[in-house]
Amino acid sequence: MRDGTRIATDDEQPGRVALRRRVVIKLLHPQHAGREDVADRLRLEAQAIATLGPRTPHVVQVLDYGRTGAGRPYIVMERVEGRTLEEEIAERGALPPDKAVGIAVQILDGLAAAHAAGIVHRDVKPDNVFLCPAPGGGHTVKLLDFGLAKIARDLSGEGGPTPLVKPTEPGTVMGSPLYFSPEQAKGGPATPSSDLYSTGIVLYTMLAGRPPRPIRRRLRVRTHRAPVPHLPVRLP
């Protein structure tokens, strides 16, 4: 994961009644322990997922959020069985159209709940789509990693997440290059449409067994075409 460590464990702690429930703990990496901006983003992720939990079955459930005795923030989430869509494609290659469309529809259902709550995921990609085996066959899709999520408005009054204390600077590129939208590639603001664009690329990847190669080439061209900043003749 990007800024933390995931630990799978049983829900048994001294002083608490053992619930015999397997959970995953997302703990901020020690190298980021002193960075309040990174800690605040983990807080935002926890609040975003908790907001969506009652609205859709297509996100993992947050069970707790807090800080360790050393001050490192953590999220406790349900532990789900299965594997990521990226792992599924790596093993099977291109998926049958009906399966690919079924997965895409569930991704869109989860995103619809997020967008209705004023949350933009900003990092929809196969590695953030988890496939849980469903009774009777098929899969239940769970969206993972809201660590780059954007809050469109202050939702604290509605029981939702509050925006970051230090907002993302304009022009910052957020997301995964093979899957993000053109406006994200240019450092522009992400919108719900950005998530839909990324989902379209995920659908293409499921049907083709690989992401669209031209995306990679266009990004390289855009990088090389970026204007060179002016440098003064003398530096102080």
Q: Looking at the annotation, which residues are catalytic? A: 123
Within 10 angstroms of residue 144's Cβ, the number of other Cβ atoms is 20
Q: Is the dihedral of CA 198, 200, 203, 208 positive or negative?
A: negative
Within 10 angstroms of residue 191's Cβ, the number of other Cβ atoms is 17
- What CA–CA distance (Å, rounded) separates 166 from 170? 12
**CA–CA distance from 213 to each of 193, 197, 225, 236 (Å)?**
22, 16, 19, 44
Residues 6+ apart with CB under 8 A from 216: 177, 178
Q: Which residue has the tokens 């908790």?
A: 50
Backbone φ and ψ of 190, nearest 5°: -85, 145
